[in-house]
Structure 1
């Protein structure tokens, strides 16, 4: 039987570990709470990437973040993918294991993207069954992350916040609340972030993500926000994060930065700012529900 996974203190903040920072992390040993990696990048379990991941795991708790399960697809879950992910989990004993509330494949052909689901009763039942199947195969509760999105489906029967809350309730999974994705989607679709937060079950929220976005402006004067993970966390996202802390309290918080990567100390400073906001919240209030 695998060992009991380590737990993270609720007020810790970490960084997404990318190849450009592999060597800098053990050299600098920054003051962060954990590191998170994309699980599929290490399925090969060899070479330089595996060496650096083992180095990082020796120094920090680990979170595994998947991008390839395609939980919303109609294609069957792939046993080989689940097997490799389970082996990685058993070997590295991550504190958290997460995936996305999305789909990516049709008839075995994968899009290089995380695509949104229609919020229908049929899709809800399908996703719940798939999450339960994945959790049984992995021997772990997983967290599901809300996407940033740029379109809606005419077939939607409920808002996204009701959909994800019901998936968590029925499947027993946790919620990874990506605060940047929430802000981006709210801007793009014109909904109120408060409505989204009102619907989420506090006890299911186990992690937060923060990241940067970019603006895309059109000739007619309209604009959308795109979740590029290529900038500092924007001020309105920090403000929304403060509201999330007020409602739900601290949770392990990750800062993602995947493109136009800065030097490691810049990324670490973003995580340390998140940790400082959590400490400030803890000092100022004890009203939030427990983690």
Structure 2
């Protein structure tokens, strides 16, 4: 029985990886297909990558999505950090339960509800205040910030809950002001959590389709919206090429992050260098 266990574990692991990464591998292979039919192999070709780089609609949508995602992630990190500090450092204050529920609501709320609620809000604000004028980049960014704050808050709050408060208290006892304690002590400690929150908010914004479809307008078409509209008429080889480029960029980022973490762990295990005897 013990001899069979590794075989079945290996088989289950192989089926799991094949189920997850098989479609991605086939997508990458067919991105180099010379045929316009994505299911018929017509020989090796990089034709579709050239046509993708000449497709102004996809390039404009990709640049718009990157700008929105970067702005959304930056604002969400600032607001999410403030919310995480309030929930972890200020104890029981009046309205804490309501505040925590409002921050966590986007985590469990369906995207359709968030998109519809954002649309109604922007329409009402436009009628009452005259801003925002129509729907476009501004409304998409605000809607993305709304749900991204929840994810950043959870990450930052979990990191702050593990922080040794005696370090901050010692700095305060030595005469440091609260803002200096935060900048010099707290911020460097939670920096990895802030980076993780920024990357998660960036990815969520770049990947969003449902909410952006509700709050976008003419001239503000994100990359997922362009891909979805193209796929509805049939999968284009250019979409395969686009997906392959995204997979390659993500893979490169994961490899670089893994190498950095591996070097950091190796340095931590090796410890400080021994003093040289004279």
Q: Same fold (TM over 0.5)?
A: no
TM-score (norm 2): 0.21
Greater RCO, CA 8 A, separation 6+ = 2
TM-score (norm 1): 0.20
The structure having more radius of gyration, on CA atoms, is 2
